[in-house]
Amino acid sequence: MTALSPSREAPSLEAPSLEVSGLAFAYPDGHQALFGVDLTVRRGERVALLGPNGAGKTTLVLHLNGILGGGVGSVRVAGLPVTKPNLAEVRRRVGIVFQDPDDQLFMPTVREDVAFGPAAAGLRGPELEERVRTALERVGMADFADRPPHHLSFGQRRRVAVATVLAMEPEILVLDEPSSNLDPASRRELADILRSLDVTVLMVTHDLPYALELCERSVILSGGVIAADGPTGELLCDEDTMRAHRLELPFGFDPRTVPVRG
């Protein structure tokens, strides 16, 4: 890892990975999406962000790296306020993996896609090569470095999209519906990768079994506020809470019978 430049503030080792305080936001058309969100994610946690469509999940995520702003309240990433002067560093610390990997892959080869972010941040030579190699190894895609992304399967492209974010050495990895459109084997492979990463994870998902498998803690965002926050298994077994926020388990799935893996 390179030494910190004078303009790059070191993350606070004591601060949570994410602190959202009183966050409220309305779009220019007057639609109020968030009504005062308070959320703390500790370093190293894997937290599922659950909720019905229209709950404000995307709006919240877009505040984490400053794509949206100007509302009420505050967001901090590893103690660093998400404000205009800090946006470059915040966007390095908050890596967002979009639902469609093709939104992130646009270079001729996998290697070039993974190198793009670190190179844009000024990394060059052997250090850049090492950053790319390490990121691809972490997602099991090192052997595909010279392949065009469009020649890969959907599951492989999603893993490369994760690698493009890991190459920036983020503080927190935000995953938008990571299991969507994956076959069972790809779904399992991605779960194994996510469990192996030494990084804070916030996973936005409608896949409740996947949330239970990967995240000990879940947060339900509903109507622009945090409606529930607790152990994933307990929330999924709370029928009243699930019904109130339009969350439904797959037919025949019983969280009480599933051993939770760390």
- pLDDT of 12 reads 55
- pLDDT of 257 reads 87
pLDDT at 83 over 70: yes
pLDDT at 36 over 70: yes
| Burial 15-54, CB ≥16 within 10 A → b, else e | bbbbbbeebebbeeeeeebbbebebebebebbbbbbbeee
pLDDT at 112 over 60: yes
Average pLDDT (58-63) is: 95
- Burial (CB < 10 A; 0-12, 13-18, 19+), residue 141, is buried
Hey, where are the domains in the chain? 18-103+173-249
Q: What is the mean pLDDT of the chain?
A: 92
Would you identify the CATH topology of the domain 18-103+173-249? Rossmann fold (3.40.50)
pLDDT at 175 over 80: yes
- H or E stretch including 205? none
Measured distance CA(240)–CA(180) in Å, rounded: 26
- pLDDT of 14 reads 77
Q: Are 252 and 258 in contact (CB under 8 A)?
A: no
Q: For the chain, give percent helix, strand, coil, nearest 5.
A: 40, 25, 40
pLDDT in tens, 131-170: 999 999 999 999 999 999 999 999 999 999 999 999 999 9
pLDDT at 7 over 80: no
Q: How confident is the model at residue 260 (pLDDT cuts 50, 70, 90)?
A: low
Average pLDDT (57-73) is: 94
- pLDDT of 111 reads 97
Of the listed ranges 2-6, 11-15, 54-58, 202-206, the least confidently predicted one is: 2-6
- pLDDT of 261 reads 61
Which of 49, 56, 50 has the alpha carbon at shortest distance from 25? 56
DSSP structure class, residue 255: G
* High-pLDDT (> 70) share of the chain, %: 94
